Structure 1
Amino acid sequence: MKIGEILRTERESRGLSLIDVEEETKIRAKYLQALEEENYDEIPGEAYCMGFLRNYARFLEIDPDPLIYQYRCQAKKVDQSPPPIVSEQPPVRSSTGRIWAFLGLAVFVILVFSISFVYFNNKERTVPPPKPPVSQEQDNNKQQTTPAPVEENITMQLVGNQKCWTRVTVDGNLEFEGILNSGETKDFEAKDSIHLRLGNAGGVDVIYNGEKQPPLGASGQVAEKEYTKSG
C-alpha cells in the first residue's frame, strides 16, 4: 500500500477525523491531508514533511521507519528512460562530390592568401589605440555590481520520543530551553551553527539538514553536540 492509503485507512479505522488528529498531534489538518493524498509539495520543506510523517505514524501506532524509507525512495525517483537512438547514414561519395571538394579547397587557399596579403600589408599602418585607464570609481562600481554568493542556512528538527529537557543555541543565541514532550516537534534554522544539549539523549530524534542523525546517547544520558555548516 502507498503511504497515504496506510495513514488514511488506519485513521478511519479508529474513527478519527483530520481535526481530531490535528488537536492531538498539533499538526495542521491541511498538512495531514497532504500526507494522505501524497501531495508533498503542499508541505514547506523535506525536513518538515518527514517530521510530520513520523509524528502522524507514531500517533496512529504505526512504525514510521518503513514509511520514511518509502517517502525517500519516491522523492529521489528519477526518469531513467533511454536516450533516443540516432541512426547515422554513411556519406555518399561520387565524382561530382570530389570535383566540388577540389573547387572548394582551391577557393579556400585563394581566400587565405588574399587575407594574409592584406593583413601583412596593413599591419605597420594600423596601430590600435591604447585602452583608456580604468578609474578607481569605475573599478569600485564594477566590484559593487558583482553579486554576492548565496549561502544556504542549516536546518534542524527535533522530534520527541520521550520527555526530554532540551536547550538549543542558534548562532550563539539561546532559541529554546525547556521540556520537549513525546510527539512534539521543534524546528530551527541557523546561518553558521546550532548547539544542542539534551537531558535524555535517547528520547529525541535529531533531523539535521533533512537527514536523521544517530542518537546522541542512550535514554537518560545527558549529551550535547554542536552542528556547524562546515560539518
Structure 2
Amino acid sequence: MSIGNSPEDDRPSIGRVLQQARLAASLTVDQVSTATRVRIPIVHAIEQDDFSRCGGDVYARGHIRTLARAVGTDPEPLVAQYDAEHGGRPAPTPAAPLFEAERIRSDPRRPNWTAAMVAAIVAVIGFVGFTFFKGGDEPATAGRVAEGPTSDKIAPKPSASKPADPKPAPTESAIAAAPLDKVTVKLSATHGRSWISAKDHNGRSLFDGTLEQGDSKTFQDKERVDLVLGNAGSIELFVNGKKVDDRFQPGQVERLSYTKGDPEVG
C-alpha cells in the first residue's frame, strides 16, 4: 500500500461487492434482472461500476438498494459508498417559510347610543317576563317535588337468560385449513435468510425481497402462485395447508409453481 492511502481506498468497489454477493447466492444476471425488473444491461453496467445508464443519482441509489436486497447483502454501506464517491447526498430543500397574515384592525368608531338604548329596553322587558313566569311556576314545582317518586320502589327482576354456550377453541387442523377455492402458499425462513419472489397467475408481483430467519410470508391466488427461492435450503414450505417435504440445498435457486390441486411441484 502506498503512503497516505486511507482504508477506504482498499475496499472493493460497489459493483464488485454486488457481483460477489450474486455469485455467492448462486444467481445469474438474468435471474436477478427478472426478480428486480432492472434491465440486464443495467445490471451488467452496475457490476462494472458504470452508473451512467441508471438515469441519475436517485435512480442509481435505488438500483443499488434493489440489487443488494436481491442478492442478500446490506444495501446501506453500498449507498453510503456511492454518495462518498459521487459528491455526497444532496442537501434537502428547505421548506418555504410560512408567513402569518396580518390581522385587519377595524378603525375605532363612535359609540352607537341608539343601539345601546334599544338593547337596554329589550333586556328590561326580558327580565320582567322571566320573573313573572318564574313566580307562577314555583307552587307547581314545589308540588311536584313533594309528590316525587320514593326511593323504595321495587326494581324489576332481571330476566333469567340461558348462558351462552362457550365457543370451542380452534383446533390446529382448523387453523391450518386453507380455502378450497384458492391456492395458499406459506414460506417460513427457518434455517437462515433467503431472497424470494412470488407472483400470481397473471404475473403480478405478490412479494419481492428478503425473508429474514424467523420470518414467514403467506400468499394466495385463485389459480396459481409462482415462486423463485434464492436460498431454498433455508425455507420451510406449506402448500394448501400441507408441508412440502422437498429437501432443497443451501444456496440452491428453485423456481416453483403451485395450484389448488397441489402440493405437487407444478
Q: Which of structures 1 and 2 has the bigger CA Rg?
A: 2
Q: Is TM-score (shorter-chain normalized) higher than 0.5?
A: no
Larger relative helix fraction? 1
Per the normalisation by structure 1, the TM-score is 0.32
Per the normalisation by structure 2, the TM-score is 0.28
